[in-house]
Amino acid sequence: MMAQSATRIKNPVIWADFPDPDVIRVGDWFYMVTTSMHTMPGCPIMRSRDLKHWELVGYVFDRLEDNDGHNLADGKGVYGQGSWAPSLRYHEGMFYVAFSCNDTGKFYLYRTDDIERGGWRRTTIPRLFHDPSLLFDEGRVFVIYGNGDIYITELTPDLTGVREGGLNQLLFSTPTDGIGLRCEGCHAYRIGDTYYLLFIEWPRTGHARRRQVCYRSRRLLGPYERRVILDDDMGYRNHGVAQGAIVDTPHGDWYAILFQDHDAVGRIPHVLPVTWEDGWPVVGVDGKVPEEVVVALPECPLPVNWVTSDTFDHPDGRLPLAWQWNHNPDHRFWTLLERPGHLRLYTSRVVPSVLQAPNTLTQRTEGPTCRGEIEMDVSHMKPGDHAGLIALQSQFGTVGVRCLDEGKVLEMCLRGEGGGERVVERVPLSGDKVSLRIDFDFRESVDIARFYYATAGGEWRKIGADLSMRYTLDHFMGYRVGIFCYAGRETGGFVDVDTFRYTRSPALDKEPRRTASVDA
């Protein structure tokens, strides 16, 4: 029998899109931050006491910038940009999160003395540090970054700028032979008297398309030794488990939290044991990612609140933490208070497609299967309005209601030319109440979404075609389920969403063949 003080973790520890994880420990708590790109609020902060159960406690910022791109205005957007690969550190009573933003060309640094309650203060530096890692070392602070060529830059002691006359140089260049994408995704540590820099790289040959590499040195400026410390894909489609953090427990054990590309669902974190041999971190077991890990910590369940059902009955007018907006929200055009127990989404400007729709409200999806459904009142829609549920990525699919001059119709759409909507099927709608549903199937990367509707008192009916979900780099994010309402002709309409119901691992239809789906 497993000791009471041990926690058994089955990989992946979270089967949802939490890319580029950085994890630290402060006292008995582990804290994790991950990439959030164009979703707002951004940079989710999670906590755990056993590395198995993770609770979302907040976000670093509500919005990153207030411009056309981040507001999805004038045909602009920042899909796949925004915050990338944040670095999380704790130093002398202060928590720090730092990352670069490609679309603004800036380095962002946030700090707080209370990571769970927030109150983050922001500093920006007008330059990019690719996949940065903060390193506090003997009263100085550095950022180590780069892709292939790895650089070190010294910051001012208050972390508000680059230190004049400080270190600012090439640290080393990583190999090119047999490498597709050279080292990036730095995580820098000083452990004892040794510096460790962890990276990922993409070899052209080997067990996996992504592997974990470690550089070490007794001196900050080197020379550095190199070693591949993990090259394994768990037998899954050549998708290597790599990029992330190492962290110790209060008892001195070490673990790595790394992610694996899992196609349409996104990049999902795994927990791996770390041992030390001759001063090198050895990740995994016999060079492999274990399907289960036993952590010598007491199990501490926490709420799974990063995906959740919602009745929208919140007297304070605030949404649960699981919700993130697609780009910046416009808070003038949504409310939980005008019709208690409902999310009211107003149309705010005329746009040509759901990808440009303001105030699309989203949550992550999960593997192996999941389901999202809503109940919606469409009685106040105006001609041209379109509202419903979306399986959101670049290659999207929607099921919803469109208001035409001659009446309302149920409609299923796939992405069309230029990011527009291609109507696959329309069904007349006689009433003003409708339920909508999307089933997501990520088993063995079959990556199929199916769309359903039900009218008052009726059964679920399938509509349109299956969506063949694809993880594409223009969005750089796993599929999300979203609620949208936008104007195609005139503003002022709205819908009321009664309930969002989320089901984890529902029993879906028999797994389909990929060739049976219809590509967008």
Give pLDDT tens digits for 264-279: 999 999 999 999 999 9
Candidate from 36-40, 108-112, 508-512 with smallest mean pLDDT:
508-512
Indicate if the pLDDT at residue 226 is higher than 60. yes
pLDDT of the residue at 520: 32
| pLDDT classification of 444: cutoffs 50, 70, 90 | very high
Residue with tokens 């640094």: 109
Residue spans per domain, the chain: 20-295, 324-516
pLDDT of the residue at 425: 98
Measured CA to CA, the distance from residue 475 to residue 478 in angstroms comes to 8
Contact between 247 and 23 under an 8 Å Cβ cutoff? The reply is: yes
Contact between 237 and 227 under an 8 Å Cβ cutoff? The reply is: no
Indicate if the pLDDT at residue 467 is higher than 80. yes
- Cα separations (Å) of 116 from 22, 85, 249, 398? 16, 20, 20, 36
| pLDDT classification of 463: cutoffs 50, 70, 90 | very high
Mean pLDDT of the chain: 95
The three state secondary structure string of 208-237 is CCCEEEEEEECCCCCCCEEEEEECCCCCCC
Contact between 50 and 29 under an 8 Å Cβ cutoff? The reply is: no
Say how many C-beta atoms besides its own lie within 10 A of residue 285's C-beta. 14
Instruction: Give percent helix, percent strand, percent coil of the chain, each to the nearest 5.
Output: 5, 50, 45
- Cα separations (Å) of 30 from 196, 248, 249? 20, 9, 9
Measured CA to CA, the distance from residue 320 to residue 305 in angstroms comes to 8
Rounded to 5°, the CA angle 172-175-180 comes to 125
Q: Which CATH class is domain 20-295?
A: mainly beta
pLDDT of the residue at 206: 65
Indicate if the pLDDT at residue 148 is higher than 80. yes
pLDDT of the residue at 231: 95
- Residue 482 CB burial class (10 angstroms; 0-12, 13-18, ≥19): buried
| pLDDT classification of 207: cutoffs 50, 70, 90 | low
- State the average pLDDT over residues 322-339: 98
Residue with tokens 């995994």: 284
Indicate if the pLDDT at residue 510 is higher than 60. no
pLDDT of the residue at 5: 86
- State the average pLDDT over residues 342-367: 97
Say how many C-beta atoms besides its own lie within 10 A of residue 437's C-beta. 22
- Residue 425 CB burial class (10 angstroms; 0-12, 13-18, ≥19): middle
Q: Quote the DSSP letter at residue 129.
A: -
Contact between 491 and 349 under an 8 Å Cβ cutoff? The reply is: yes
pLDDT of the residue at 319: 98
Indicate if the pLDDT at residue 438 is higher than 60. yes
Which residue in 412, 468, 477 sits closest to 261, CA to CA? Answer: 477
The three state secondary structure string of 335-371 is ECCCCCCCEEEECCCECCCHHHCCCCEEEECECCEEE
pLDDT of the residue at 3: 43
Which residue in 434, 476, 474, 477 sits closest to 452, CA to CA? Answer: 434
Which residue in 339, 281, 280, 341 sits closest to 310, CA to CA? Answer: 341
Residues 6 or more apart in contact with residue 3 via CB below 8 angstroms: none
Contact between 254 and 243 under an 8 Å Cβ cutoff? The reply is: no
Measured CA to CA, the distance from residue 401 to residue 387 in angstroms comes to 5
**324-516 placed in CATH 3.40.47.10:** no
- State the average pLDDT over residues 36-42: 97
Measured CA to CA, the distance from residue 145 to residue 186 in angstroms comes to 6
For the entire predicted model, the pTM comes to: 0.95
- Same CATH topology for 20-295 and 324-516: the answer is no
Measured CA to CA, the distance from residue 262 to residue 260 in angstroms comes to 6
Contacts of 139-146 with C-beta under 8 Å, sequence gap 24+, read: 140/166, 141/91, 142/167, 142/188, 142/220, 143/87, 143/98, 143/107, 144/171, 144/186, 144/188, 144/197, 145/100, 145/186, 146/171, 146/183, 146/184, 146/186
Indicate if the pLDDT at residue 507 is higher than 90. no
Indicate if the pLDDT at residue 310 is higher than 80. yes
How is residue 277 written in tokens? 């041999």
pLDDT of the residue at 479: 98
pLDDT of the residue at 396: 98
Q: Give the three-state DSSP class for 332.
A: helix
Beta strands in 104-176 (DSSP E): 106-112, 121-125, 133-137, 140-147, 149-155, 168-173
Indicate if the pLDDT at residue 446 is higher than 70. yes
- Residue 405 CB burial class (10 angstroms; 0-12, 13-18, ≥19): exposed
- State the average pLDDT over residues 400-423: 96
Work out the widest C-alpha separation in the chain, in whole angstroms.
76
Indicate if the pLDDT at residue 158 is higher than 90. yes
